């Protein structure tokens, strides 16, 4: 589901003891959707995500044998960050190759489909079906088998407690 959320951007203490809050509205992609790919490799994007992608988007290889779909604006921000990193660092050069060599600019057609290039379908193991997952600022596209493996990892409460123990997720 595509929703609008609120992000805290500035908090300051006043003599009254009241903490004023300045808010910034941001877009978030949430939820899971099971969709089929057609014979041409087109995937229908959930209707709730389409407005955010109307101005264009980029599809790249993800880090977990999945694909990552992000808005054009977010791709530009990410590109600027990557391009500011040192070219002398071998890990940065690999990151640039990973992101930019697999990036494909995509558009939605009039019924909300986008063509997934064959090399990206091959990478993610996409054949006839895909799981579309909202992960906040981006959309991930998974093969059903790979997503089932991810869900198994995510359902392990003990492992999650250890994995996320050092993150401060308190509100």
Domain annotation covers residue 19: no
Residue 86 token pair:
């040192």
Task: Read off the CATH number of the domain in which 84 is found.
Answer: 3.40.1550.20
Domain annotation covers residue 118: yes
| Mutual angle of helices 72-84 and 90-102, in 10-degree steps | 160
**Number of domains into which the chain is organized:** 1
Domain annotation covers residue 98: yes
- Residue numbers of the domain that contains 86: 2-7+24-159
Q: Are 98 and 68 in contact (CB under 8 A)?
A: no
Domain annotation covers residue 102: yes
pLDDT of the residue at 27:
66
Give the 3-state secondary structure of residue 135.
strand
Domain annotation covers residue 171: no
Give the Cα separation of 68 and 150 in Å (integer).
15
**CA proximity to 41, closest of 109, 98, 138:** 109
pLDDT per residue rounded down to tens, the chain (171 residues):
444 444 434 444 434 444 343 323 356 899 999 999 999 999 999 999 999 999 899 999 999 999 999 999 999 999 999 999 999 999 999 999 999 999 999 999 999 999 999 999 999 999 999 999 999 999 999 999 999 999 999 898 888 888 888 887 777
Interior angle at CA 60, CA 58 and CA 64, nearest 5: 145
């Amino acid at each position: 589901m595509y929703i609008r959320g609120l992000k805290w951007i500035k908090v300051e203490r006043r003599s009254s003891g009241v903490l004023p809050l300045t808010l910034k509205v941001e877009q978030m992609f949430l939820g899971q959707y099971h969709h089929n790919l057609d014979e041409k490799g087109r995937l229908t994007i959930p209707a709730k995500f389409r407005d955010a992608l109307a101005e264009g988007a980029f599809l790249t290889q993800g880090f977990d044998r999945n694909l990552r779909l992000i808005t054009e604006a977010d791709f530009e921000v990410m590109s600027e960050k990557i391009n500011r990193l040192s070219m002398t660092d071998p890990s940065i050069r690999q990151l640039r190759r990973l992101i930019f060599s697999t990036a494909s600019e995509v558009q939605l057609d009039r019924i909300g489909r986008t063509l997934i290039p064959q090399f990206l379908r091959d990478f993610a193991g996409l054949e006839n079906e895909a799981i579309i997952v909202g992960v906040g600022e981006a959309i991930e596209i998974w093969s059903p088998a790979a997503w089932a493996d991810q869900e198994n990892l995510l359902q392990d409460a003990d492992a999650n407690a250890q994995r996320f123990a050092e993150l401060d997720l308190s509100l």
